[in-house]
Amino acid sequence: MGIAFFPDDALDSETLIIKADQAMYEVKKDGRNGWQFYTQEMQRKSEKRHSLYNELVSAVNNEELSVYYQPIYCNKEERIVGCEALVRWKRAGGSFIPPDEFIPLAEESGLVIRIDHFVLKTARDFISSLNTETGLNIGLSVNVSARLLYMRDESSQAWFYEIKAPSNTPITVEITERILVEDATRALQVLNDLSASGIQISIDDFGTGYSGLSYLSRFPVNAFKIDRSFVDKIGKLKTEEALIETMLLMAEKLQIKVVAEGVETQEQLDFLRDLSCDFSQGYFIGRPMPDSQFREHLLDSLPAK
């Protein structure tokens, strides 16, 4: 529920409803199931969001977005075996807009579908070309939004055909647990189709949301990512370390691969390696980087012949 007062917030019913709606939006953003009074700060936020949305539309239309690649490291083989494709937005003036500012806006407005298409095609073409050039088998992980995953219009599902087309690139689709909760029946259908096409399925940020263990048995899940909030506590909290160990033991029993996110120190990497965690991702391995820099980073990491 959002609440606006006459005459303090507005003098006519139409404006009062608009401002009450802005207050209700704040409640939804905080998880729903609550109430909020309208404030002037909400108006400033609303105006900022509207301005940012207009900029984002222009950025998408003018191809101002780019794809960065963060290395994924195999702990056992001690080498880079894949990467995650991440969208970045650099304003014409040179400043970067943080993803957590524009991605939620893109999801709400539907622009995320065009952005997902762009990231998928750009990353797939680059990694396929890189694999052909180097003879390697670098895998590609891409995040897919609920909007794109659940599109029912067949003519707009080009992403599905693009991702399952024959390729020399192993592809993993990363989804959040929220996607599995919102429409389990539809999710099962789409994920089964992807899995049958040879696409790997990974649950992102595992352990922070709903974390229903039934998802690991009901859906064709090949991997999950341990959230950085757990990895950050390695060497600091025994409880978090025990939770990581439990997740890894469970994954081993279920024959599910595990990627640890947010690895930033040698201590964290050693801890994960000692527990036979499959993969690591984080600043210690490599920050997200543009394609040319990722290529250089990858080639530099290869053993000398």
Q: What is the pLDDT of residues 37-80, one digit of tens each?
A: 888 887 787 778 888 889 999 999 988 899 999 999 999 999 99
Helix ranges, 90-157 (H): 99-109, 111-134, 146-149
Which one has a higher pLDDT value, 82 or 208?
A: 82
Percentage with pLDDT > 70 across the chain: 91
Residue 25's pLDDT band (cuts 50, 70, 90): confident
CA distance 204 to 227: 8
Which one has a higher pLDDT value, 106 or 149?
A: 106
pLDDT at 165: 59
Total count of residues recorded for the chain? 305
How much is the mean pLDDT over the chain?
A: 87
Residue 155's pLDDT band (cuts 50, 70, 90): very low
CA distance 180 to 210: 10
CA distance 24 to 42: 10
User: pTM value?
Assistant: 0.85
Residue 115 has pLDDT above 80, yes or no: yes
pLDDT at 158: 60
| 194 alpha carbon, distance to own chain's centre | 18
pLDDT at 209: 60
Which of 5-14, 153-162, 176-185, 264-273 is least confident? 153-162
Q: Mean pLDDT: which of 67-76, 206-215, 293-302 is highest?
A: 67-76
pLDDT at 157: 55
Q: Mean pLDDT: which of 31-40, 161-170, 191-200, 233-242 is highest?
A: 233-242
- State the first-to-last Cα distance of the chain, in angstroms, to the nearest integer: 65
Q: Is the previous residue joined to 7 through a cis bond, with omega within 30 degrees of 0? A: yes
Q: Is the previous residue joined to 98 through a cis bond, with omega within 30 degrees of 0? A: no
Residue 164's pLDDT band (cuts 50, 70, 90): low
Residue 210 has pLDDT above 60, yes or no: no
Q: Mean pLDDT: which of 25-39, 77-91, 112-126, 185-199 is highest?
A: 77-91
Which one has a higher pLDDT value, 187 or 183?
A: 187
Q: Mean pLDDT: which of 104-108, 124-128, 211-215 is highest?
A: 124-128
For residue 301, give both structure tokens. 């990491």
Residue 2 has pLDDT above 80, yes or no: yes
Which one has a higher pLDDT value, 268 or 32?
A: 268
Residue 195's pLDDT band (cuts 50, 70, 90): confident
